[in-house]
Structure 1
């Protein structure tokens, strides 16, 4: 790997400052924040403005905002994103850390579809696969995704007069009970499944967001009951949030969930 070019590093540092605050900065602001010489900042800002990476703010003389060029680069990057591929990479990292099975899933109507799976390193593994479809209300990823839906959409998909199918004796079958459960998930930002889709498996899940902040998937960690405890649950909840956050960042999300 070659050496870093100081001028390029400084130019990128300047651009990244515009991701914070209201998105506008003056040359003195940049000088103060980065502790760079005023002449260096002036030259770099002038160059970035000449290439449309920065543009002057008309109503605020002396201040700049991001220009069209970063938007064009970001749009091209977004076009090349593959949720399944990015999900597999993050899932592999999470699985390596915890040794358990990790899934990434999306919501389709009232079902979840698993788009990525990385197996546990333990001898006992989940009988699941990418491409498999399950009722959303029976899984941690599905409940996480249902909890992210607007109220009217959720009511349309899961009306009160339609009982929910059960996969195990622990599955939620009452729409009203499910809505109460989803409200708790919405508040916590984490979904937990305790033997609801498989009598021998527990799961935790967290939401994955795109560049606009919309929940587009969920990432889960699945654990056989023999390795489940309140202490283990707390550890995995923390890890699943980190994993989902990393995948969200890869998809362009940079806000607070």
Structure 2
């Protein structure tokens, strides 16, 4: 096994402290990491010399992240491919539940499916990558709508009734707003036969590095397999899958 270099690990530990705090002093860094001040001083001198940290004069001297950190982050972000990352995670979730898994994004008042991994069951739902559906009729769409700020949400909703896809679709804007409040509280959304009377879905939010809900993942199954125990398990799996995809996109769960 190759040996890890302790000095590099400590330097990375120093940099990661700044993910939660914009400015830190040498004393604060030493206290947070439990390192001797002489060790912290050497690490800081090295990081400042390479511009990964910038020293800010004051009593005490404060440090902040430098431009190379931003450049590395930008290079990483440029390599991210939502579809590729989502495909890999969706395969894992589908393998665990053997039901259809989707990942979708919001476009206006609709959702567009970017990824679909099918189940192996002979009876399964009919859907396709690239399909567009009214967001309010789907679990992924409710998740995505719940992440909008009030003004953005208002611009996407009509003044009158919403279009329905089944008798169970939410067509009243007031009821939809109440439903979105429940989604924000629960952290998941359910499509209870609202886009297809024979199908049920549960969806969870996918966040980017800023914490914004940028996509949503769902598990979908025919109503004949939508039993209480399965629903509970699929809710757990889709929540964990969405969290895993969020982590791949750079999201850090708040402490």
Partners of 2:230 and 2:169 in 1: CA distance: 22
Residue of structure 1 in register with 2:249 after alignment: 251
Q: Number of residue pairs matched?
A: 255
Residues in 2 aligned to 1:63 and 1:157: alpha-carbon distance in whole angstroms: 45
Structure 2 residue 31 is matched with structure 1 residue 32: yes
Q: 1:204 deviation in Å?
A: 0.9
Following TM superposition, by how much is the alpha carbon of 1:37 offset from its aligned partner in structure 2, in angstroms? 4.0
Q: CA deviation at 1:255?
A: 4.9
The answer to whether the 8 A contact 1:167-1:197 is kept is yes
Which blocks of at least 5 consecutive residues in structure 2 are unaligned?
none
Whole-angstrom CA distance in 1 between matches of 2:218 and 2:93: 10
Residues 38 and 232 (structure 1), Cα distance of their counterparts in 2 relative to 1, 3 Å cut? same
- SS, match of residue 213 in structure 1: coil
Output the CA distance in 2 between the equivalents of 1:225 and 1:58: 64
Q: Which residue of 2 aligns with 1:147?
A: 146
Give the TM-score normalised by structure 2. Answer: 0.89
- 2:89 aligned partner: 90
Question: Deviation digits for residues 156-213 of structure 1, max 9, x if unmatched?
Answer: 322232x333222222222232222222212322111111112221111112222222
**Alignment TM-score, normalising by the size of structure 1:** 0.89
What's 1:13 paired with? 13
Instruction: Give a deviation string over 1:107-149, Cα, whole Å, max 9, x none.
Output: 1111110011122243433321211111111110011112222
Secondary structure in 2 matching 1:239: helix
Aligned CA-pair RMSD: 2.2
Unmatched segments (≥5 aa) in structure 1: none
CA-CA distance at 1:60 after TM superposition: 4.5
2:173 aligns with 175
In structure 1, C-alpha distance between the alignment counterparts of 2:28 and 2:150, rounded to whole Å: 43
Partner of 1:204: 202
Q: Which moved more, 1:138-147 or 1:151-160?
A: 151-160
